[in-house]
Amino acid sequence: MNDFLKISGLCAQIDDNGTPKEILRGLDLEVPKGEIHAIMGPNGSGKSTLSYVLAGREDYEVTGGSAEFLGEDLLALEPEERAALGVFLAFQAPIELPGVNNANFLRTAVNAVRRARKEDELDAVGFLKAVRAETKHLQMSDDMLKRNVNVGFSGGEKKRNEVLQMRMLRPKFAILDETDSGLDIDALRIVAEGVNSFGGRISRHSSSPITSVFWTTSSPTVFTSWRRARSSIAAGAKWRWRSKLRAINNISRRWHERRDRSFAGSRVLSVPGP
Amino acid sequence: MPAVTETREAVETLGQSTYKWGFETDIEMDFAPKGLSEDTIRFISARKQEPEWMLDWRLQAFRAWQAMEEPSWQKPEYPAIDYQDAFYFAEPKNKPGPKSLDEVDPELLRTYEKLGIPLHEQAILAGVEGAGDVEARLPVAVDAVFDSVSVVTTFRKTLEEAGVIFCPISDAIREHPELVKRYLGSVVPVSDNFFAALNSAVFTDGSFVYVPEGVRCPMELSTYFRINARNTGQFERTLIICEDRATVSYLEGCTAPMRDENQLHAAVVELVAMNDAKIKYSTVQNWYPGDENGKGGIYNFVTKRGACRGRNAKISWTQVETGSAITWKYPSCILAGEGSVGEFYSVAVTNNRQQADTGTKMIHLAPNTRSTIIAKTISAGRSDSTYRGLVRMMPKARGARNFTQCDSLLIGDQCGAHTVPYIENRNMTARVEHEATTSKISEDQLFYCRSRGLSEEDAVGLIVNGFCKDVLKELPMEFAVEAQKLLQLSLEGSVG
């Protein structure tokens, strides 16, 4: 039995200038803990919609089905309650918050989540220590902590900042919505390693469940072993809207090789076999 | 951010928070006869044991007021005020000074407690003899104006040693008549405007600060105004003078109990800065704003003006306006000294049915004068907020510069924000810049914060505080945190 994440018959629509537009039409999907899933599909196939619905965005109306996460009815929770429970969404286009200091924002978020989880809040020193370790890992400059949240960040900096937030908030289930898009090879490697080592750290040093990751992408070339990633979806999910998902079979060989080199030894790229 | 945490706790303890400072104290009061006439003014003047010249000054103002008409060019609308249907003087009955806290009216002490004033400071405020000597370590001197009488002034002694005079203005009229005569009404003349004239006629108390040449005032000076009695207008008068190379930082905080009727608050503040003097005047105003339907609340019609009379003098206004049913004021600077600097930093928050029409006037008279205006307005509910500002470059203002930035933030879709900048330039070498933006807190921003675990209210608080950062950082440290909390409290329930 899987009690980690279970999505059944999920239907969701969005208001498209007054007329409801159905996007998810009965999605079934089970994710056991500790797995990494790639959600692939062309633009408009509903990858971001699925991400937003799971994170609790109000613009999307859930018209049917259910989503259970750790035994709780995920869809009944407020976004902040989902965050406290361990759901994290890395935005495809991270939002700018003018005037809000990045470090301050991060600390407020971390402590809000810690409070909800009945953990001690981090004081300024403890927080700074924790965040410095993470920024070093992600090769981010301290300068990024001093700037305002996502304001004036380059595309790559924004994505790195999302991964930083993920690592600091320690979710159990992370949704990375196109976190690979717009990144050059080097940035992609750093981000991928950030995601990868995160899962590993959780499993080695703590008793909390291994984090599961959803990584939506329109270019499955991110995953060197994308065939295996895809097969894991095929095994765990029944996409009723499969017709929309198009397996991309003709990946350029050259691309493939370059990615292979960049991602050598990076476990995020393959589906860990239990 | 600890401030946000504290705010959350504050909000939680308040439950479905209403006006936090909305308690009423039942203290025996002495009232002047209701209504406004020469007799009322003579009564006030006599009760204050004022010299003859002061009474003449008041009567002159009263006659000027009688000949004036209430202005009507402003944006906020309010029903006509009946000036004969109010008390102009109310004073707590409790004299002479008590010997210990036990002798102080317990109601008064309870009020201080609710205001969060620590016990030893309560003792000082309540006028317990000798209480001031022990607590000279505290960094802030408080002058509490309880209705019309400044109950007592703390730290007068420490300040006296530095040569600084900080006392109720009624004391100053008796003890330092030469200074008061020279400066009172010199920045805001008695006939300046309708409300200033009214204030000049009936003002009952307020603060007086005099910093002599070369002295840097050793502590922040703070005044706590509170309107308690029913139907009393609070007409306080503040006069701050900084001689050559003197420096002072002054903060006023304001609260009033919840009442169904509207109360008028028409204060006048005058600042005078001589050569190289610096005056920093900060206001945190949270008068009772009325309920959700706009019933009750304070009319805050205030005239604040500072004159930079000397070379390189500097006057800086910082205000955080969260309260009052109507806020209508323009803290201004007259830059008469060469190279003098005027600054205006403002945050005005309106919620429910509040209205605010606020801004500044920068009058550049002398060469190389500079002014900076940063105004942030936040409107929520069905409130309406206007920035109205004047920058005037006079012919002699060679090389003068002004920079103005007005930003408006809208929460919800039933509120309004307006920006009305007036610019008059009569000198071709002067430079005036104006920038303005209007934005809304977007659903995207709220969702982004909430998906990181922040509650909706924390998210709004974070975004609003970010929006106001440029202004809040100008406040003295102790009050910046307070102001952040206030912002969040006043916007509570404005989203969703």
Q: Which residue has the tokens 């040693």?
A: B161
Which residues, other chains included, contact B449 with Cβ-Cβ below 8 Å and sequence gap of 6+? Answer: A97, A105, A109, B458, B459, B462, B463
Residue contact B466–A99, C-beta within 8 A: yes
Domain that holds residue B220: 5-490
Q: What is the pLDDT of residues B69-90, one digit of tens each?
A: 888 888 878 878 888 777 777 6
Residue contact B1–A108, C-beta within 8 A: yes
**Is the CB of residue A165 less than 8 Å away from at least one CB of chain B?**
yes
Residue contact B448–A94, C-beta within 8 A: yes
User: What is the pLDDT, as a whole number, of residue A207?
Assistant: 36
Chain B residues in contact with A107 by the CB 8 A cut-off are 1
CA distance B466 to chain A (A): 4
Chain A residues in contact with B469 by the CB 8 A cut-off are 99
CA distance B410 to chain A (A): 15
Residue contact B453–A148, C-beta within 8 A: no
Residue contact B469–A116, C-beta within 8 A: no
Q: Is residue B495 part of a domain?
A: no
Residue contact B453–A99, C-beta within 8 A: no
Chain A residues in contact with B449 by the CB 8 A cut-off are 97, 105, 109
Residue B437: CB atoms within 10 Å = 12
Q: Give CA–CA dist A56/B417, Å, rounded.
A: 31
Name B317's bridge partners.
B281, B344
**Is the CB of residue B447 less than 8 Å away from at least one CB of chain A?**
yes
User: What is the pLDDT, as a whole number, of residue B394?
Assistant: 95
Domain segments of chain A: what residues?
5-97+171-270
CB pairs under 8 A between A and B: 85
Task: Give the mean model confidence (pLDDT) for residues B139-156.
Answer: 52
Does the predicted model carry a pTM greater than 0.90? no
Q: Is residue B236 part of a domain?
A: yes
Q: Which two tokens stand for residue A269?
A: 């790229």
Residue contact A100–B448, C-beta within 8 A: no
Q: What is the pLDDT of residues B194-239, one digit of tens each?
A: 889 999 998 887 889 999 999 998 877 876 554 444 444 578 899 9
Q: Give CA–CA dist B308/B303, Å, rounded.
A: 17
**Is the CB of residue B53 less than 8 Å away from at least one CB of chain A?**
no
**Is the CB of residue B11 less than 8 Å away from at least one CB of chain A?**
no
Q: Give CA–CA dist A70/B244, Å, rounded.
A: 70
* pLDDT class of B111 with cuts at 50, 70, 90: low
**Closest-CA residue in chain A for B461?**
A100
User: What is the pLDDT, as a whole number, of residue B27?
Assistant: 55
User: What is the pLDDT, as a whole number, of residue B354?
Assistant: 86
Full DSSP string of B430-446: -EEEEEEEEEE--HHHH
User: What is the pLDDT, as a whole number, of residue B466?
Assistant: 87
Q: What is the pLDDT of residues B350-362, one digit of tens each?
A: 888 888 888 999 9
User: What is the pLDDT, as a whole number, of residue A49?
Assistant: 85
Highest mean pLDDT among B122-126, B246-250, B476-480: B246-250
Q: Which of A101, A109, A148 sits opposite B453 (nearest CB)?
A: A109
Nearest to A271 by CA among A245, A234, A219: A234
**Average pLDDT for runs of 10 along chain A of length 274:** 78 86 80 70 74 90 91 92 92 91 92 92 89 86 89 88 90 83 73 65 38 57 36 33 26 33 31 26
pLDDT at B163 over 80: yes
Q: Give CA–CA dist A50/A37, Å, rounded.
A: 13
Largest CA distance in chain A: 52
User: What is the pLDDT, as a whole number, of residue B361?
Assistant: 94
Residue contact A83–B449, C-beta within 8 A: no
pLDDT at B297 over 50: yes
| Preferred mutation among B8, B448, B468, B487 to probe A, highest tally of A CBs within 10 A | B448
User: What is the pLDDT, as a whole number, of residue B406?
Assistant: 92
Q: Which residue has the tokens 């509207």?
A: B262
Name A30's bridge partners.
A6
Residue type, B41: I
**Is the CB of residue A59 less than 8 Å away from at least one CB of chain B?**
yes
Residue contact B448–A108, C-beta within 8 A: no
Full DSSP string of B183-247: HTTSSS-TTSSHHHHHHHHH--B-EEEEE-TT-B-SSEEEEEEE--STTB-B-BEEEEEE-TT-E
Q: Is residue B496 part of a domain?
A: no
Contact of B309 with B278, CB cutoff 8 Å: no
**Closest-CA residue in chain A for B466?**
A99
Task: Give the mean model confidence (pLDDT) for residues B287-314.
Answer: 85
CA distance B389 to chain A (A): 24
- At residue A81, the 3 state secondary structure works out as helix
Q: What is the pLDDT of residues B164-201, one digit of tens each?
A: 988 888 889 999 999 999 999 999 998 888 889 999 99
Share of chain B above pLDDT 90, in %: 33
Residue contact B451–A111, C-beta within 8 A: no
- How many distinct structural domains can be found in chain B? 1
Q: Give CA–CA dist B61/B66, Å, rounded.
A: 9
Architecture (CATH level 2) of domain A5-97+171-270: 3-Layer(aba) Sandwich (3.40)
ipTM: 0.81
User: What is the pLDDT, as a whole number, of residue B109?
Assistant: 61
CA distance B452 to chain A (A): 6
Q: Which residue has the higher pLDDT, A131 or B486?
A: A131
**Closest-CA residue in chain A for B4?**
A108
Q: Which of B443, B444, B452 sits opposite A109 (nearest CB)?
A: B452
Contact of B279 with B240, CB cutoff 8 Å: yes
Chain A residues in contact with B456 by the CB 8 A cut-off are 80
* pLDDT class of B251 with cuts at 50, 70, 90: confident
Residue type, A10: L
User: What is the pLDDT, as a whole number, of residue B97?
Assistant: 47
Which residues, other chains included, contact B391 with Cβ-Cβ below 8 Å and sequence gap of 6+? Answer: B361, B362, B364, B371, B373, B402, B404, B421, B422, B423, B424, B432
User: What is the pLDDT, as a whole number, of residue A263?
Assistant: 33
Q: Give CA–CA dist B411/B439, Å, rounded.
A: 9
Q: Give CA–CA dist B205/B214, Å, rounded.
A: 28
Chain B residues in contact with A151 by the CB 8 A cut-off are none
Q: What is the pLDDT of residues B365-410, one digit of tens each?
A: 999 999 999 999 988 888 888 999 999 999 999 999 999 999 998 8
